[in-house]
């Protein structure tokens, strides 16, 4: 599957959290770390999907 790379504003539209919260999560969760290119940060759509699929599975098994 081809991956898309999203800018922070696109990520925040998808998951509805603040910038500060996204960066806090990125410090804790390896899958949510951005890719740095020059002075910009980009997030992998595949990594975001994988992370949230994992959260769904945890909630379903709890």
pLDDT in tens, the chain (62 residues): 699 999 999 999 988 999 999 999 899 988 789 999 999 999 999 999 998 898 888 888 76
For residue 32, report the phi and psi dihedrals to the nearest 5 degrees: -100, 10
- State residue 62's pLDDT score: 66
Contacts 24+ apart (CB under 8 A), 17-23: none
Residue 57 in contact with residue 23, Cβ under 8 Å?
Answer: no
d(CA 42, CA 38): 11
In this prediction, residue 59 carries a pLDDT of 81
How confident is the model at residue 44, as a pLDDT?
94
pLDDT of residue 1: 67
């Amino acid at each position: 599957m081809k991956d898309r790379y999203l800018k922070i504003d696109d990520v925040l539209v998808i998951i509805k959290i603040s910038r500060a919260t996204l960066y806090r999560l990125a410090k804790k969760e390896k899958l949510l770390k951005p890719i740095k290119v020059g002075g910009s940060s980009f997030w992998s759509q595949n990594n975001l999907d994988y992370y949230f699929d994992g959260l769904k599975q945890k909630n379903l098994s709890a």
